[in-house]
Amino acid sequence: MHAALASAQRSVTVTGGLSLAQVAALPAVVDLVTAGRVLGLGRTKAYQLARAGQFPCPVIRVGKTYLVPVAGLLAVLGLPVRGREDDKQEERRHPHGGGHHI
């Protein structure tokens, strides 16, 4: 387990985590609070880690906003990352917008 994540989990009460189904349904990029929830972190701890450059996966800073690519979250959790081929298969199954939209 990533050292920063292990440290954060020891000092944070886990509340409102996401199920695997909810994680699988996430868009390509989420806000820092949602990413923290995926990892079982509270809002304050997620921001502390991001500001310190210790969030356990890549974080993109856009102005004052922190964004987290879901692929990085999935990698930290050891879950498979959906690729372009998965998206193409989904499009073939639902050609008129049955997928997720941002």
How would you classify the pairing of strands 60-62 and 29-31?
Answer: unpaired
Whether the CB-CB separation of 100 and 27 falls below 8 Å is answered with yes
Average of per-residue pLDDT across 15-19 = 71
Average of per-residue pLDDT across 21-32 = 93
Domain membership of residue 67 as a residue range: 3-93
Distance of CA 65 to the CA centre of its chain: 15
Helix axis angle for 3-10 and 43-51, nearest 10°, is 140
Q: Which residues pair with 62 in a beta bridge?
A: 65
Q: Is residue 100 part of a domain?
A: no
Q: Is residue 37 part of a domain?
A: yes
Q: Is the pLDDT of residue 11 over 80?
A: no
Q: Is residue 98 part of a domain?
A: no
Q: Is the pLDDT of residue 39 over 80?
A: yes
Confidence grade of residue 20 (pLDDT, cut at 50, 70, 90) = confident
Q: Is residue 30 part of a domain?
A: yes
Quote the number of domains for the chain: 1
